[in-house]
């Protein structure tokens, strides 16, 4: 077995990961049990904003099984510790200290106030009720415009403002385009809209959990995290633990979607308690805890102004955002809306562009990355306003897009926001999508239904999107003041028996890296797929990495794997030549074999690996190893794109929306495993559609999260979603040797505006030009009747009754 | 309270607190950590197991209620290293990504196929409505359940988990081997 007959890359390989997952032989963090292990339970604030007058833990300490009850002052007497934020987007960004447990004041409902340590999880939970906290209420700051009002109470008095930061890009100043104010004043048509990106909950299925073992040689932490490497370095920095004394393991991790890119107060707490007690410690959150304490996503108010000529040529775009940070800054929270700065211009040639984002503090759960992180928000804004502009001009919306998009022969193309798109073919993806969708047929049916006044109206929604993936070139991150580079690491171990271990700094939590990386290495080295094991998520074996987020794993981590494999081959070559007594120049490597050119003389890379292991007869000066490692830093982002078309039926008598058909043609470049790609698209679509129709994190006027369980936060079930028609075009990325672009976020980014555009298209003739998400039946019905875009209560009718709010009261706005 | 529960073919007798949930008993006392907890309002279904052959959300059953009962978890489905047809179908159809919902989703799908051996797409979607998945968008899960149905003889139902669902000689799935009842 030295060669594989057909290339592995491109094959629909069934996943290696499945075997343990379908049989229950999994290693979730909460499965861990260690001798003498104790359990943590966190008491969470019921108040959104209050001074803590006193915390009485005496009764709790007497409860059965309780070992300790600790407050913020117990864990951090000096008040020195602060949870890290790694993305200070501006030099004068306001950054409040986020304590491990609240000290003196709570700033959102759900913030940790005290922690119980007990022999069992149930006993720890029991004792929470016996802790007596006296609060002195402060005025609650909710809603970004309220927070910015002149006389607004302050979330953090010491900052003197609720404004976290202002971040501006202007094409006139940057020299990448014209002056947007001039474009607007000279425009033949100007359309202005305010869109709202509601707050969402990432809602990974596995609740967060961590276990700390202080009895090992290294302090060892297992955590349900997307970012074990970042967590290790950040935890070391935060607590002053020597970095080499800390090991972090992300075992099987049950989804993340950005929600597990974090350094958690609970992780820091577990490290502190474990060291204090000298015992292994476990913390596992309940779902209700996760809903209030894990970071949320989105939550923006978007003011867009688009300028155009009567013929549809867009001449300028001005974007003014408010982004809700919540009460504190998450690990990368302040930068999330800034990622959108590069994406509002999307696939279009926009000659003048201005982007300004104001980040705002409120007394709510903090926000941070959620699938797409800034780019879904941007795509929504531009794709919604393109439809509005089309309506204003009386133009077919696809035609308007085509008039403005970058033509395939114009790549590489440097955009007004200064990114250089390497490749793309919007025409091809759109044409394919139109055919699969029967675009013309559905438009015909739409006209017919409208003419006969059918109570069920049909709407067609379009989203032609691109995104920046493969985060990221380190120099670009540096220019954005991001607190890390964007490279990724890989290493390959050539074992004596011809098997291979691949080490990756990417940290899979459902993506299928074990399968995809095996396919890549199989092709690179000619080693059978089955003979390759991928090691990840343990800083002891995978010692270097920057983890998994931002659709970066394949486009950055996968390329590092390729580079490491190339080094293995380069190291093997002199030994192969030595073994076959020929010149290196006479050797060619293919299908796992070094062959002497023009002869049938060959040796396999496995044989070379064995010879290196034996080391009895090596070329002069060669080290006895073929193992190699590589760190890859991309030169550019990758730019997946696609055309998504949605047909929605809207029952105008009930407001109910039914998705009749959803077609997407995505171009994610070359594909390693089409099965995995399709799965990523499906899941992404479900999340994007859910934002459009179902989900919203709602706070009441006291700052309590009322959508705080899965009974109230409407995660779609199988019965709520249609089957999708997915297809692809393949325009390889030119910025990496595999031609890949990344696919993790595409479905989510593209689908939300496609669905909302479809619903608006169905009811536009009733005078409706916007409905705020989620497009619940009540909101759609109210919009048809009154034209109001946000009537009917924020998601009020979506809940199952456990704390769903009164629609008359509305949510915290 | 002292209870005796047969889990995946093994009988366990334990003293449990009356308030202990079945899922916690399985995970914390019996080490059956293949069954997981995803929420605390019985909405997500990640903890689904079979209690005397029917699917239940084990976060909504007290351990004492399972006294004298037979519980099957995802860990008890495979026979002699051969996957249950529904497990196999989940693999074959890429019906899982992170895999956290998968144990519950598989147990619920088996129960669904017991009630309806040949469900159409809508019936599958409604039949697994009580199990949430955040990764897959459900499309491949629906496909997997229908694929499994094709490989299981009508009426296999809960019996399917007691017998080999696969022709062990060839490794391929043989409908005739499913549903024979008993071990």
Tell me whether residues A22 and B40 touch, CB distance under 8 A: no
Which residues of chain A are within 8 Å of residue B87 when distances are taken between CB atoms? 22-23
Tell me whether residues B131 and A717 touch, CB distance under 8 A: yes
Minimal-distance CA residue of chain A relative to B73: A24
Residue A801, chain B, CB below 8 Å: the answer is no
Mutate to test the interface with A, among B49, B62, B94 (most CBs of A within 10 A): B94
Tell me whether residues B36 and A511 touch, CB distance under 8 A: no
Tell me whether residues B132 and A715 touch, CB distance under 8 A: yes
Strands A281-284 and A38-44, bridge-based pairing = parallel
Strands B70-72 and B2-7, bridge-based pairing = parallel
Neighbours of A97 (CB within 10 A): 13
Residue A217, chain B, CB below 8 Å: the answer is no
Q: What is the pLDDT of residue A809?
A: 34
B49 CA: distance to closest CA in chain A (Å):
12
Instruction: Please write the tens of the pLDDT for every residue from A487-514.
Output: 999 999 999 999 999 999 999 999 999 9
Tell me whether residues B98 and A25 touch, CB distance under 8 A: no
Which residues of chain A are within 8 Å of residue B33 when distances are taken between CB atoms? 24, 26, 28, 30-31
Minimal-distance CA residue of chain A relative to B105: A22
Which residues of chain B are within 8 Å of residue A287 when distances are taken between CB atoms? 38-41, 44
Residue A64, chain B, CB below 8 Å: the answer is no
Structure tokens at B89: 């179908």
ipTM of the complex in this document: 0.95
Tell me whether residues A710 and B44 touch, CB distance under 8 A: yes
Domain with CATH 3.30.365.10 in chain A: 18-25+487-632, 297-471+636-798
Nearest to A510 among B17, B44, B135 (CB): B135
Answer for the pair A647, A611: CB distance below 8 angstroms, yes or no. no
- CATH T-level assignment (fold) for domain A297-471+636-798: Aldehyde Oxidoreductase; domain 4 (3.30.365)
Residues 6+ apart with CB under 8 A from A253: A28, A29, A206, A224, A225, A226, A260, A507, A508, A509, A510, A537, B98
A292-to-A300, A711, A811 alpha-carbon distances in Å: 19, 14, 16
Tell me whether residues B44 and A717 touch, CB distance under 8 A: no
**Dihedral sign (CA A380, A386, A392, A398):** negative
Q: For residues A128 and A109, give the distance between their C-alpha atoms in angstroms, rounded to a whole number.
A: 16
**Domain residue extents for chain B:** 2-76, 85-177
Tell me whether residues B96 and A18 touch, CB distance under 8 A: yes
Q: With H, G, I as helix, E, B as strand and everything else as coil, classify residue A19.
A: helix
For chain B, give percent helix, strand, coil, nearest 5: 35, 15, 50
Which residues of chain A are within 8 Å of residue B17 when distances are taken between CB atoms? 122
Instruction: Please write the tens of the pLDDT for every residue from A29-88.
Output: 999 999 999 999 999 999 999 999 999 999 999 999 999 999 999 999 999 999 999 999
Burial class of B86 by CB neighbour count within 10 A (0 to 12, 13 to 18, 19+): buried
Mutate to test the interface with A, among B137, B141, B145, B166 (most CBs of A within 10 A): B137
Residue A686, chain B, CB below 8 Å: the answer is yes
pLDDT beyond 50 at B166: no
Instruction: Please write the tens of the pLDDT for every residue from A329-359.
Output: 999 999 999 999 999 999 999 999 999 999 9
Nearest to B91 among A14, A710, A718 (CB): A14
Is the bond into B62 cis (omega within 30 degrees of 0)? no
Q: What is the pLDDT of residue B153?
A: 66
Q: What is the pLDDT of residue B159?
A: 54
Q: What are the phi and psi torsion angles at A324 (to 5°)?
A: -85, 115
Task: Give the ranges where A660-733 is alpha helix by DSSP (H).
Answer: 674-693
pLDDT beyond 80 at B155: no
Tell me whether residues B40 and A28 touch, CB distance under 8 A: no
Residue A723, chain B, CB below 8 Å: the answer is yes
The CATH class of the A18-25+487-632 domain is alpha beta
Q: For residues A344 and A355, give the distance between their C-alpha atoms in angstroms, rounded to a whole number.
A: 9
Q: At what angle do helices B139-151 and B85-92 cross, to 10 degrees?
A: 140
A-to-B residue pairs, Cβ atoms closer than 8 angstroms: 178
Residue A710, chain B, CB below 8 Å: the answer is yes
B105 CA: distance to closest CA in chain A (Å):
10
A32 CA: distance to closest CA in chain B (Å):
9
Q: For residues A775 and A690, give the distance between their C-alpha atoms in angstroms, rounded to a whole number.
A: 10
Q: What is the pLDDT of residue A599?
A: 95
Answer for the pair A375, A343: CB distance below 8 angstroms, yes or no. yes
Burial class of B3 by CB neighbour count within 10 A (0 to 12, 13 to 18, 19+): buried
Q: For residues B19 and A162, give the distance between their C-alpha atoms in angstroms, rounded to a whole number.
A: 46
Which residues of chain B are within 8 Å of residue A510 when distances are taken between CB atoms? 97-99, 135
Angle made by CA atoms A186, A406, A188, in degrees to the nearest 5: 15
Strands A602-604 and A593-596, bridge-based pairing = antiparallel
- Region of B81 please: left (phi>0), alpha (psi -120 to 50) or beta: left
Minimal-distance CA residue of chain A relative to B137: A683
Tell me whether residues A205 and B141 touch, CB distance under 8 A: no
Q: For residues B49 and B55, give the distance between their C-alpha atoms in angstroms, rounded to a whole number.
A: 5
Tell me whether residues B99 and A19 touch, CB distance under 8 A: no
A312 CA: distance to closest CA in chain B (Å):
36
Mutate to test the interface with B, among A17, A20, A24 (most CBs of B within 10 A): A24
Tell me whether residues A511 and B97 touch, CB distance under 8 A: yes
Structure tokens at A303: 């003011």
Q: What is the pLDDT of residue A792?
A: 65
A51 CA: distance to closest CA in chain B (Å):
30
Residues found in chain B? 183
Which residues of chain B are within 8 Å of residue A724 when distances are taken between CB atoms? 137, 139
- CATH T-level assignment (fold) for domain A32-138+205-255+260-293: Aldehyde Oxidoreductase; domain 3 (3.90.1170)
Residue A675, chain B, CB below 8 Å: the answer is yes
Minimal-distance CA residue of chain B relative to A29: B33
Annotate A463-488 with DSSP letters as a single string: EEEE--BS---HHHHHHTT-SS---E
Q: What is the pLDDT of residue B176?
A: 32
Burial class of A543 by CB neighbour count within 10 A (0 to 12, 13 to 18, 19+): middle
Domain with CATH 3.90.1170.50 in chain A: 32-138+205-255+260-293
Tell me whether residues A715 and B83 touch, CB distance under 8 A: no
Nearest to A608 by CA among A552, A568, A649: A568
A377-to-A115, A198, A262, A319, A433 alpha-carbon distances in Å: 36, 10, 21, 12, 23
Answer for the pair B183, B162: CB distance below 8 angstroms, yes or no. yes
Answer for the pair A742, A638: CB distance below 8 angstroms, yes or no. yes
Q: With H, G, I as helix, E, B as strand and everything else as coil, classify residue A268.
A: helix
Instruction: Please write the tens of the pLDDT for every residue from B58-68.
Output: 999 999 999 99
Structure tokens at A789: 């875009």
Nearest to A717 among B94, B102, B132 (CB): B132
A268-to-A122, A306, A654 alpha-carbon distances in Å: 22, 46, 49
Minimal-distance CA residue of chain B relative to A33: B28
Q: What are the phi and psi torsion angles at A673 (to 5°)?
A: -140, 105
- CATH T-level assignment (fold) for domain B2-76: Ubiquitin-like (UB roll) (3.10.20)
Domain B2-76 matches domain B85-177 at the CATH topology level: no
Tell me whether residues B126 and A719 touch, CB distance under 8 A: yes
CATH number of B85-177: 1.10.150.120
Residues of chain A with pLDDT under 50: 1-4, 795-813
A13-to-A7, A445, B39 alpha-carbon distances in Å: 11, 40, 32
């Amino acid at each position: 077995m030295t060669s594989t007959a057909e290339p592995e890359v491109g094959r629909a390989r069934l996943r290696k990961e499945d075997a343990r997952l379908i049989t229950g032989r999994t290693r979730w963090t909460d499965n861990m049990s260690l001798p003498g292990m104790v359990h943590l339970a966190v008491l969470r604030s019921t108040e959104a904003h209050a001074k803590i007058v006193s915390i009485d833990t005496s009764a709790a300490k007497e409860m059965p099984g309780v070992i300790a009850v600790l407050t913020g002052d117990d864990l951090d007497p000096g008040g020195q510790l602060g949870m890290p934020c790694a993305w200070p987007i501006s030099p004068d960004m306001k950054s409040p200290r986020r304590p491990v447990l609240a000290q003196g004041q709570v700033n959102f409902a759900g913030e940790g106030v005290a922690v119980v340590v007990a022999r069992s999880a149930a006993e720890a939970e029991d004792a929470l009720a016996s802790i007596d906290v006296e609060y002195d209420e402060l005025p609650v700051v909710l809603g970004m415009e309220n927070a910015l009002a002149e006389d607004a109470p302050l979330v953090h008095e010491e900052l003197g403002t609720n404004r976290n930061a202002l971040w501006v890009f202007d094409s006139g100043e940057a020299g990448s385009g014209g002056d947007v104010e001039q474009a607007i004043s000279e425009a033949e048509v100007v359309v202005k809209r305010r869109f709202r990106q509601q707050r969402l909950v990432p809602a990974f299925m596995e609740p967060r959990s961590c276990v700390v073992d202080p009895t090992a040689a290294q302090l060892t932490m297992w955590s349900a995290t997307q970012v074990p490497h970042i967590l290790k370095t950040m935890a070391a920095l935060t607590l002053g633990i020597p970095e080499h004394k800390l090991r972090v393991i992300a075992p099987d991790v049950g989804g993340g979607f950005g929600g597990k890119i974090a350094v958690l107060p609970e992780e820091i707490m577990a490290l502190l308690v474990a060291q204090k007690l000298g015992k292994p410690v476990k913390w596992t959150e309940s779902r209700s805890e996760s809903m209030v304490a894990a970071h949320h996503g989105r939550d923006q108010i978007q003011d867009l102004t688009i300028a155009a000529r009567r013929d549809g040529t867009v001449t300028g775009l001005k974007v003014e955002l408010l982004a809700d940070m919540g009460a504190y800054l998450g690990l990368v929270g302040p930068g999330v809306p800034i990622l959108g700065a590069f994406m509002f211009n999307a696939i279009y040639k926009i000659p003048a562009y201005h982007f300004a984002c104001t980040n705002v503090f409120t007394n709510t759960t903090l926000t941070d990355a959620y699938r797409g992180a800034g780019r879904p928000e941007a795509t929504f804004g531009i794709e919604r306003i393109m439809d509005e502009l089309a309506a204003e001009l009386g133009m077919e919306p696809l035609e308007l897009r085509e008039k403005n998009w970058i033509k395939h022969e114009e790549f590489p193309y440097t955009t007004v926001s200064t990114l250089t798109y390497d490749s793309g073919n919007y025409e091809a993806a759109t044409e394919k999508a139109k055919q699969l969708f029967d675009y013309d047929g559905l438009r015909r049916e739409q006209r017919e239904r409208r003419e006969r006044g059918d109570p069920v109206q049909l709407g067609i929604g379009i989203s032609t999107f691109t995104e920046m993936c493969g985060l990221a070139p380190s120099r670009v991150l540096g220019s954005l003041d991001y607190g890390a580079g964007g490279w990724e690491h890989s290493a390959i171990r050539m074992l004596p028996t011809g098997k291979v271990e691949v080490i990756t700094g990417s940290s899979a939590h459902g993506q299928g890296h074990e399968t995809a990386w095996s396919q890549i290495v199989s092709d690179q080295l000619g080693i059978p797929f089955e003979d390759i094991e991928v090691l990840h998520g343990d800083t002891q074996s995978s010692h270097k990495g920057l983890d998994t987020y931002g659709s970066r794993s394949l486009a950055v981590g996968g390329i590092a794997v390729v580079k490491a494999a190339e080094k293995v081959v380069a190291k093997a070559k002199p030994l192969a030549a030595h073994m076959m007594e020929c010149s290196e120049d006479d050797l060619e490597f293919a299908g796992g074999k070094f062959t002497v050119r023009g002869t049938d003389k060959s040796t396999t890379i496995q044989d070379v690996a064995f010879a290196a292991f034996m080391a009895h007869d090596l070329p002069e000066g060669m080290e006895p190893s073929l193992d190699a490692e590589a760190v890859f830093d991309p030169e550019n982002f990758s730019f997946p794109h696609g055309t998504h078309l949605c047909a929605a039926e809207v029952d105008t008598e009930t407001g109910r929306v039914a998705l009749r058909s959803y077609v997407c043609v995505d171009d994610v470049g070359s594909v390693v495993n089409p099965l995995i790609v399709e799965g990523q698209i499906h899941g992404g679509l479900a999340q994007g559609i859910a934002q459009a129709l179902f989900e919203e994190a709602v706070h009441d006027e006291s700052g309590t999260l009322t959508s705080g369980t899965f009974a109230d936060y409407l995660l779609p079930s199988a019965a709520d979603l249609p089957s999708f028609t997915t297809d692809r075009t393949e325009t390889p990325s030119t910025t990496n040797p595999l031609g890949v672009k990344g696919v993790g976020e595409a479905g989510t980014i593209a689908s939300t505006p496609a669905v909302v555009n479809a619903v608006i298209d169905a009811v536009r003739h009733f005078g409706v030009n916007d409905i705020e998400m989620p497009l619940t039946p009540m909101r759609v019905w109210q919009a048809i009747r009154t034209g109001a875009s946000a009537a009917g209560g924020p998601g009020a009718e979506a809940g199952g009754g456990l704390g769903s709010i009164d629609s008359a009261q509305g949510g915290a706005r | 309270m002292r209870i005796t529960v047969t889990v995946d073919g093994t009988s366990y007798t334990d003293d449990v607190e009356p308030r202990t949930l079945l899922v916690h008993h399985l995970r914390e006392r019996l080490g059956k950590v293949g069954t997981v907890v995803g929420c605390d309002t019985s909405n997500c279904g990640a903890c689904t197991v079979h209690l005397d052959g029917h699917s239940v959300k084990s976060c909504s059953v007290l351990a004492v209620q399972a006294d004298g009962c037979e519980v099957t978890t995802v860990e008890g489905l495979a026979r002699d290293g051969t996957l249950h047809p529904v497990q196999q179908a989940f693999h074959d159809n890429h019906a899982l990504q992170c895999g956290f919902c998968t144990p519950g989703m598989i147990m619920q799908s088996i129960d669904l196929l017991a009630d309806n051996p040949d469900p159409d797409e809508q019936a599958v979607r409604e039949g697994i409505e009580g199990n949430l998945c955040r990764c897959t968008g459900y499309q491949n899960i629906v496909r997997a359940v229908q694929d499994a149905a094709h490989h299981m003889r009508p009426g296999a139902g809960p019996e399917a988990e007691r017998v080999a669902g696969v022709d062990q000689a060839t490794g391929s799935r043989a409908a005739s081997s499913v549903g024979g009842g008993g071990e």
